[in-house]
Amino acid sequence: MPQVIVLNGGSSSGKSSIACELQTLLLPVPWLSLSVDTLIGALPRSGAGIEFAADGSVTVGPVFREVEAAWLAGVAAMATAGAHVIVDEVFLAGPRSQSRWRAALTGLDVLWVGVRCEPSVATSRETARGDRVPGMAASQASLVHEGVTYDLVVDTTHTSAEACAREIAGAGS
C-alpha cells in the first residue's frame, strides 16, 4: 500500500465516506483521514483569505495559500514520520493544486484518486447535508478534475462508498 492516498473531488462527491470506508478496509494499519474541511474549520471566521460566495464558488487569496502551505507540509511530515494518511481534498485550481501536493509529498508513495459524481447527485447530497453553500457541488463537480492526473478514478454516482473504497484498496496493494 502507498503511504498516502489523495482523494480529489468536488463538494459532496463522497470523498469523506470513501475515506471512512478505507480506514476500515485497511486495518490493522491505522490510517489518518485528513480533510481540507478540517483545515477550513480550524481557520478563523474572517481574515483567513478564503471566501464562499452565494453561488457556491470559492475564492482563495494569499493569506489562505500561506496557511495551506503549512498544512501541506504538516500532512507530509506526518507521512514522512511513518503515518499512513488519506487526504480528502478539493483541487479548486486543478493541476496547480495537484502540483502543490506533489511538491509537499515528494519522496512518498502516493496513490492519486479522482472521486467523480454527477452534478445532480452531488447537488442532492449537498441539499441533504445542509452544511454547504448551495451550488458548490455543481460548480465543483467537473472543475476540480480539469487537468489533474490520477492513478485511479472512481464514480460515486451509482457506486457505494464501500465499493469505491474496495477498488481503491485493490489498486494500492
Catalytic residues, by residue number, are 37
Which residue has 492526473 as its cell numbers? 149
Q: Which residues contact 129 (CB under 8 A, 6 or more apart)?
A: 12
Helix (H, G, I), strand (E, B) or coil at 52: strand
Q: Cα(150)–Cα(50) distance, rounded to whole angstroms?
A: 26
Beta-carbon neighbour count of residue 135 at 10 Å? 16
- What nine digits make up the cell of 108? 512518498
Q: Specify the DSSP element, H or E, that contains 85.
A: strand 84-89
Q: Are 12 and 131 in contact (CB under 8 A)?
A: no
Q: Specify the DSSP class assigned to residue 143.
A: G
